[in-house]
Amino acid sequence: MNIVKDKKSQHIVDYIKEFARKNSLFVMAYGTGCGAIEIPPTMTSRYDAERFGIRGAATPRQADVLLITGYLAVKTLKRVIRVYEQMQDPKYIIAFGSCTINGGMYFDSYNTINALDRYVPVDVYINGCMPRPEAVIEGFVALQEKIQRGDADNGKKYQENIDWYRENQMKVIKNWNMPDYNW
């Protein structure tokens, strides 16, 4: 959205916006797999992610970042998609652990998905099985850099390529009975 007509002033507005977005990330931690156990130490005294302006959000409506922490069963994927579509733009996804990248140790399981990127757009991957809190914080910093560069608007990408994503989603989710969202 362009607030001002002038290109140079728009640049300044964008810079301020991105600076604010970068420094205040509300996290919706979706604890799917075993990786969820690393979130409490990241948030509490030892590693204290609040230093970077990272803060837990209670509901998807208030959140900016969706943390997907590990393998996704097909049933869970459905909920993840719902949560993701309820979030407000701009929104980011951080995927956690090897399971989200290529299936990890569950690559041949009958009911987990292998590559999360085919179903929802992922901004930052943190690899490891499971990643330590330091790695998680590094992932957040990588996301912040990406936001400051201005190429982290994956919500838009999702809207533009919704057909492709829907097709993939419907391939794995057999009982598709999701409401339509007006995001």
Rounded-to-10 torsion of CA 30, 32, 38, 43: 10
Q: DSSP assignment of 48-107, as one string?
A: -GGGGTEEE-SSGGG-SEEEE-S--BHHHHHHHHHHHHHSPSS-EEEEESHHHHH-GGGT
Residue 31 CB, shortest distance to ligand SF4, in Å, is 10
Residue 50 CB, shortest distance to other proteins, in Å, is 5
Residue 58 CB, shortest distance to other proteins, in Å, is 4
> Binding partner of residue 98 among other proteins, ligand SF4, none, CB under 5 to 8 Å per kind?
ligand SF4
Choice between 70 and 155, CB closer to ligand SF4: 70
What is the CB neighbour count within 10 angstroms for residue 52? 15
Binding site for other proteins (CB under 8 A): 1, 16-17, 19-21, 23-24, 26, 44-45, 48, 50-51, 53, 55, 58-59, 61-64, 87-90, 182-183
What is the CB neighbour count within 10 angstroms for residue 33? 23
> Binding partner of residue 35 among other proteins, ligand SF4, none, CB under 5 to 8 Å per kind?
ligand SF4
Choice between 41 and 90, CB closer to ligand SF4: 41
**In this structure, what DSSP letter does residue 177 have?**
-
d(CA 82, CA 23): 26
Q: Which residue is nearest to ligand SF4 (CB)?
A: 70
> Binding partner of residue 130 among other proteins, ligand SF4, none, CB under 5 to 8 Å per kind?
ligand SF4
Residue 141 CB, shortest distance to other proteins, in Å, is 15
d(CA 100, CA 157): 19
Choice between 33 and 133, CB closer to ligand SF4: 33
d(CA 13, CA 52): 22
* 32's tokens: 């799917």
Choice between 72 and 152, CB closer to ligand SF4: 72
Choice between 175 and 182, CB closer to other proteins: 182
